[in-house]
Amino acid sequence: MKKSKKKTIFILEDDPDIGELLEFNLVNTGYSVLLEKSGLKGFDRIKTNPPDLLLLDLNLPELSGFEICKYLRKNDQTSKLPIIVITARASEMDRAACLELGVDEYITKPFRIKEMLKKVKRYLEQAQVNQSMMI
């Protein structure tokens, strides 16, 4: 039986405590994790080597999460990338704007880590089913 490769989660979060919390829990769950604090650097890394799922903060230095979502959804290589926004921005306008951009999930801080892990698992499984249906 062929062993499947670890799924890669990209965390784009400028708060080191939240980034490390997510990274620690995702690695312990068995995922490969990439972490970046800069919106611009993170966007460049995602374009070069798209992950299996993106955890995205909206308030990032240099390039906002809104702009990143917009660019990723317009690019053929990343248009189907599952994106979970994790943000302190709880306004209905921000939530609606993200959903219009094609974000899969919008979670406000503070969040429950076990709930987050379940959502990550669900979106990765859903993306795998969608990909296998396209083959």
Domain ranges of the chain: 8-134
Query: pLDDT at position 91, please?
Result: 94
Top-level class of domain 8-134:
alpha beta
Q: What is the DSSP string of 54-95?
A: EEE-SS-SSS-HHHHHHHHHHSTTTTT--EEEEES---HHHH
> What would the mean pLDDT of 12-40 be, rounded to a whole number?
97
Query: pLDDT at position 3, please?
Result: 56
pLDDT tens profile 59-109? 999 999 999 999 999 999 999 999 999 999 999 999 999 999 999 999 999
pTM of the model as a whole: 0.92
Long-range Cβ contacts of 30-35 (<8 Å, 24+ apart): 30/6, 31/6, 31/7, 31/120, 32/6, 32/7, 32/8, 33/8, 33/9, 34/8, 34/9, 34/10, 35/10, 35/11
Query: pLDDT at position 128, please?
Result: 80
Query: pLDDT at position 135, please?
Result: 55
